A and B are shown apart, each in its own frame.
Chain A
Amino acid sequence: MERRFDMSDFEQSLKDHADQFTMVPTKRIWKGIYNNLHPGSRWPSVTVAIILMIVLITVGNMNNSPRSVLNSIQKTLSSSETSEDLTMNSIGKVSLSDDASSQKENISFEDETSLKGLSQKKESFTQLNSPSSLSITKTPKNSLNKSNTVKNKDLKDELPQKGMQYSSGNGMLASSEVYPAGHNRSKSINVLQQKITMAPSITKEYSKITFYNNTAIELQQEIAPMSGFYKKYISYDGYRKNMETFISLPFSGETSSITIAPEVSAVKDSKGNIIGKVSVNNIQEKVTENIPKKATVIRKKRNPNTRWMYYVTPQISSVTFRGDQLKSNPVSGLPPIIVLPNQVSGNMIRAARIGLEAGAQMNVKLSKRWKFSTGSNLSYSGYHVISNQVHPTSATLVLKDENTGLSYSKNYVTHYGNGYSQNQIALNNYSLQLSIPVGLQYTIWGDKNIEINVASDIQPDLVLKSNSYIISSEGRNYVQDPSLMRKVNMSGNFGSFITFTSSKVKWQIGPQVRYQLLSTYKDNYTLKEHLLDYGIKIGISR
C-alpha cells in the first residue's frame, strides 16, 4: 500500500496528541450537575414559598373556624372576668329608658344624662372622648323602672373609671352592635342560635356598642366626630346607607367585654348599683334580627355547603389496548392486513409502574346525599415496555390517513426491538396530565362522623408531557413519534371512599380507578392505547 506506516507509532502519536487536548467547560455544566446532585437546594425560594403558603392557609383556616374563635373568646371572657375595666371614649349624651308598654324601641339620648346611684363617686370621671368605664347589667324587664336616665353631664363628673359592666342576665350574649331591622328574620333566628355560643368572640372583636334608634338620629352630630369608629362599618355594604342612623358608644379594644343582650335593661356600676336603664320593648326582636347579620359577616369566610379537599393518590399504572393495528405486508405489497389486538399486544412485554395523582377538589353539597365536585388534578402515569437494545434497524408504522381513510407507511430507525440482545432495556412510556375533573359524589351511608361515598367524574386532560414507544407494524420494534401523541385527552374516574372526622380534620380514603377514555395516540394510528390506573385516594379537608 502506498501509505504504509508504523501503526503503533501512529496510534501512540494520535493518542498522545488527543490526550493533550483539553477544553474548559462552561459553568452551566457544573450548575446542572450540582442541581442534579443536590435537588433540595435547587428551588429553595420555591420550597420556602410553598411552605409559607401552606402555613398561612392552615393558620387562616384555624383562625376562621368557629371552634377556634369560640376558644379564643372563652379565653377572652375568662380574662375579662378578672378585669372590670371598660373604657369608654365617648358616650355622648345618653338616656336609657324602658318603655315596655310602647312596644317600641326606645333607647333615647338626651343632652342631660344622669347616673343614679353613682353620684357618691366623685373621682375619676372622664370627659367626652376620654376613657371611662361602664357596667351594664341586664335585669329582668319586669323589674325595671321605666324612666331611669343616664346623663352625660353627671357621667363626666361622677362615673368611676372602673366598675361598669354591660352584661346579659341569662348568659346569652349578643352582638355589641345593633343594626337596623329589616333582615331575613327566619335566617336570623337560626344564626342567633349559633350566635349564642359564639357571642363572646364578638364582644372581643367589636369593642364598641352601637345603638340604632330613630331617636338617636338627632344626636348624630355629636357622635359623628368619632369618625374612626365608622371605618369599621364601611366594608359592610349592606349598612352603609344606614350608617347615619347609628349612634355609637365605642370602647377601646383592650377592654372589650361589652355586649348587648336581647334583654338588656339596666346599666349598673361595679357595685351593682343601677345607674341607668335600657328599656327597649322590641329589643329581643331587634337583636334577633340583627345578630344574624353580624354572624353572617363572620361566617362569610366559610360556606358550609362547600368544602375543599386536597388529595394524593398513589397508584399502579397500567395500560390496555383496543382496536386493530394495520400491518404492512412487505412481501406481496398487498394492502395492509389487520392483525388481532392480542397478537400485537402479545408481542409487547409490559410492566406496570407506580404513578401518582394529586390535586385539589371542591365539593359542593347539592342535597343530603349528592355532592358536586370539581377542582384541578395533576396525574402522572405510565408503564414500562421491556425491550432489547438491538442494532439500529428500520421499523415501519402503517398509519391511516384521517381524511381519505387510506393507509400509508412511515419508516423509522430504532435501537429497540424484540430481537435477540444481551442488553434488555425498559422503555418508559408515561404521560403527565393536568385535568379539571367534574363529577358527582353520592353518600351511601353515614352520620356526622363517618360516611361511605361513591364518586365518579370525567376529566378533560391536557397532556403536559408524554413519551411513548409504539410497537411497529411488524410487531418487532419500538419507535418514537411525538407527532402521533394526543395533546388533549379525556379520562373517567370512579371510586368509593370512606370519610371520617379525626379531631379537626376530615379524611377521605378509598380505592379509585382512572381510565383514559381516548387513545394516547391520534386516530391515524389505529391501535388504541388507554392508560388504566388503580390507586388509593387519600384526601384531607377541614
Chain B
Amino acid sequence: MTEEMMIQGCLDNLSIAQEALYSRFSPRMLGVCYRYARSREDAEDMLQEGFMKIYSQIHQYRGMGALEGWIRRIVVHTCINVLKKNKKFSDSVDLIHASSIQISENNIPSMMQAKQVVECIRLLPIGYRTVLNLYAIEGFSHKEISVILEIEESTSRSQYTRARALLEEILIKKKILQKPRENIRMVSNK
C-alpha cells in the first residue's frame, strides 16, 4: 500500500489503511518513544497516544515533506507532553544534581550497537535525555527546545552540554566511543 493510499484510507477512517500505516511506522516510532520514556510500557503508551493524534490530525498533512517526518514530529511532541503530564520531566530536570550521577560499567548493557547507543542514552537522567534527544537527534534548536520544555534557552544549552559529556563518558566506558588525542569518534559496525 502506497503512502497516498494509506493517507486517503486514514482520511476515510478505513481500518485497513490505519493498520497499514501503523505497521509501517510503529517499530521506528516506538524506538523514538523508548528514548524518551522511562520504560517500555511508558513508551508503548506514548506510541498509542501518538498514533491516536496522527489519525485524528492526518488531514493536516499536506504532503509537504516526508510522511515519516511528520509522524515523527507528532510522536516526539506527544512524548514531551506525556513527560510533562506525568511530571517526570520536571522532577528530574535539575541538572546540578544530575551531574553527580555515577555511571558504572555494569549499568551499560551489551547489545547491538544501535540499541547500545539508545540504551546508553536512556541511562541519562530524563532531563538530560530529553534535551539531548531533541537537540542532537530530532534537530531542534535550543530556542525551540526552550519553548517546548518551557525553560530558558541558556538552560537548554547547558543541559545539552552536560548531557553530551555524560553520554560521552558512558559510551567510552562501553567502548562504543574511542578517545583519540583530539577527537572522539563513534565506532560503527558498518
Chain A residues proximal to chain B, CB less than 8 Å: 3-6, 9-11, 13-15, 17-26, 28-30, 32-34, 36-38, 389-392, 413, 415, 421
Contacts and interface: CB of A to CB of B under 8 A. Distances in A.
B183 A23 contact: no
Interface in B132-189: 133, 135-137, 139, 150-151, 164-165, 167-168, 179, 182-186, 188
Given A3-B168, A17-B117, A37-B13, A29 B183 contact: no
Interface stretch (B28-36, B59-67, B101-109): B28-36
For the complex of A and B, 8 pairs with smallest distance between CB atoms: A392-B90, A5-B184, A13-B186, A17-B117, A22-B27, A20-B114, A21-B31, A23-B30
A25 B19 CA distance: 13
A409 B151 CA distance: 28
A170 B167 CA distance: 105
Nearest to A38: B15
Contacts of B118: 17-18, 21
Contact of A17 (B84, B85, B114, B184): B114
A123 to B, nearest CB: 73
B31 A391 contact: no
A28 B22 CA distance: 13
A472 B134 CA distance: 33
Contacts of B90: 391-392, 413, 415
A29 B27 contact: no
B26 interface: yes
Contact of B93 (A9, A21, A29, A392): A392
Contact of B186 (A17, A24, A25): A17
A17 B31 CA distance: 11
B48 A6 contact: no
Nearest to B121: A18
Contacts of B35: 18, 21
Given A37-B15, A415-B84, A18 B31 contact: yes
Contacts of A33: 18, 22, 48, 51-52, 55
Nearest to A32: B48
B47 interface: yes
Interface string B10-30: 000101001100100011101
B77 interface: no
A44 to B, nearest CB: 14
Nearest to A413: B87
B27 A25 contact: yes
Q: Which of A22, A28, A421 has the most CB of B within 10 A?
A: A22
Contact of B151 (A9, A10, A389, A391): A391
B51 to A, nearest CB: 5
Nearest to B84: A415
Contacts of A390: 150
A3 B165 CA distance: 8
Contact of A4 (B84, B139, B183): B183
Contacts of B13: 37-38
Contacts of A11: 135-137
B162 to A, nearest CB: 12
A6 B178 CA distance: 13
Nearest to B150: A391
A275 to B, nearest CB: 75
30 contacts: A4-B184, A5-B182, A5-B185, A6-B185, A10-B164, A11-B135, A11-B137, A13-B188, A14-B117, A15-B137, A15-B139, A17-B118, A18-B133, A18-B137, A19-B137, A23-B43, A26-B44, A29-B48, A30-B19, A30-B22, A36-B52, A37-B15, A389-B150, A390-B150, A391-B90, A392-B87, A392-B89, A415-B85, A415-B87, A415-B90
Nearest to A23: B30
Contacts of B47: 25, 29
B113 A17 contact: yes
Nearest to B132: A14
B73 interface: no
Given A13-B186, A17-B113, A23-B30, A34 B48 contact: no
A40 B114 CA distance: 41
Interface residues of B, number: 51
B150 A5 contact: no
A10 B163 CA distance: 13
B15 A34 contact: yes
Given A33-B52, A392-B93, A22 B186 contact: no
A15 B132 CA distance: 10
Given A25-B47, A30-B19, 12 more contacts: A3-B179, A5-B185, A14-B137, A18-B117, A21-B31, A26-B44, A34-B19, A392-B87, A392-B89, A392-B90, A413-B91, A415-B85
A28 B165 CA distance: 37
Given A9-B185, A18-B31, A415-B90, A25 B26 contact: yes
A282 B43 CA distance: 88
Interface in B113-138: 113-115, 117-118, 121, 133, 135-137
Contacts of A14: 117, 121, 136-137, 167, 186
A17 to B, nearest CB: 4
B117 A3 contact: no
A37 B165 CA distance: 43
B57 to A, nearest CB: 13
Given A389-B150, A392-B87, A415-B87, A37 B55 contact: yes
A72 B89 CA distance: 72
A420 B93 CA distance: 21
B30 to A, nearest CB: 4
B183 A5 contact: yes
B53 to A, nearest CB: 11
A521 to B, nearest CB: 22
A94 to B, nearest CB: 73
Contacts of B27: 22-25
A6 B15 CA distance: 46
A479 to B, nearest CB: 11
A393 B64 CA distance: 38
B184 A22 contact: no
A5 to B, nearest CB: 4
A36 B13 CA distance: 12
A6 B183 contact: yes
B159 to A, nearest CB: 14
Contacts of A28: 44
Contacts of B136: 10-11, 14-15
A10 B121 CA distance: 13
A18 B120 CA distance: 11
Nearest to B31: A21
Contacts of A10: 136, 164, 168, 184, 186
